[in-house]
Amino acid sequence: MKNYTLILAVLMLAIVGCQNSETPTPNHQTIAQIPGNALSVRQSAAFYANLAFQHAPVHYQDIDRTGSHSLSGKADYITAVDFDDDLNSSNNWNNIANNAYKAQAHAYYSVVETSTHYFIIYAFFHPRDWTDNWFLYRFDEHENDLEGLLTIVKKDGSTYGKAEGAITVFHRDFYSYKAPGSSLTNGDEDIDGTFTTQYYGGVYRFKTSQEAKGHGLKAYAKQKPGGSDYVVYYPSKTTSEVPSSIYDRNVKYKLVNMFGADGIWTHRFNTAFLTNAKSFPSTYGNGSANTPWNWDDHNDGGGQGLSHGGMAYYPAELVDAYFNGLGSFSKQYIYNPYLGIE
């Protein structure tokens, strides 16, 4: 009897030893079928691309064509960081003046996810930050310019959630705006206004606006183009267009994943492209442009989310500081490629 017991024990140990000692991780489809878990698991790359398109703004770009540095308005067109077919950021000031290089419209996006929200960065690149005041040439200008916004999307049970507001980058300052009908209220910073929206691609989208020359970005409701010379850009997953003129009201910009092969993050250690992996070099003028992981409001305090790069690394902490009225709000990241959380 003892022998049979010993044999049985050995067989049980062998069976247990053949089992995977790690808890199996269910795939996305499996998790989505588990009650209560549909909103607490990271999504696929295809989903994030669709999400970014769903909430991408209709973008108004003011144009100034005065002075030689405007290139008759071309200096205000948004484009790709490699519009000139290279990742050398020290020749962009000159190359955008070359008629061989067209300003194909692009915008760079990234998505960070918590169990309650998505945080989407949209970044718009210009090869020149310029002025038409000859006295300020080289003093108020620099090569390369990248400014954008962080859109706050609440998971509300719908496929792509509901955009509640955004924080925009205007040089060294951030501005915060809420969506029409949003419950957001002032946090540590006062809300600067309410977005107006425009219907495109089956949804109502935030309207954003960049100034000419310096390219600071605000809500269209608070910063309208001056005069009739401006371009209106509309998001696309695949198409990148060049304005036909400084009055073109229908130009598609292509959404490019910040973390893709054509993105910015991928090339951050290329010293010809970025300085210290976070800023663009400038061989002309005074100053430089920053990547989203170095964007900062110069006077909103410190702490996690409020220091340099917080909009990228810790968007939930930034939003929690800027707004109240967020409702159910988690700062636990499910997906944050800036932090290596995949």
Q: Is pLDDT larger for residue 77 or for residue 43? A: 77
Closest by CA to 127, choosing from 241, 284, 292, is 284
pLDDT number for residue 138: 77
The dihedral through the CA atoms of 224, 49, 246, 127 has a sign that is positive
Asked if pLDDT for residue 11 goes beyond 80, the answer is no
- Contact of 43 with 113, CB cutoff 8 Å: yes
Q: What is the pTM of this model?
A: 0.88
Q: What is the tens place of the pLDDT at every residue in 125-158? A: 999 999 998 788 878 899 999 999 999 999 999 9
Asked if pLDDT for residue 319 goes beyond 70, the answer is yes
Asked if pLDDT for residue 277 goes beyond 90, the answer is yes
Tell me what percent of the residues of the chain surpass a pLDDT of 70: 88
Phi-psi region of 333 (alpha: psi -120 to 50; beta: other; left: phi over 0): beta
- Both structure tokens of 206: 């935030």
pLDDT number for residue 131: 95
pLDDT-derived band at 332, boundaries 50, 70, 90:
very high
Please list the alpha-helical segments (H only) found in the chain: 2-17, 28-32, 45-55, 92-95, 310-313, 315-322
Helix, strand or coil, per DSSP, at residue 298: coil
For 226, phi then psi, to 5°, come to -90, 120
Asked if pLDDT for residue 4 goes beyond 50, the answer is no
Provide the β-strand partners of residue 323.
Answer: 186
For 97, phi then psi, to 5°, come to -80, -10
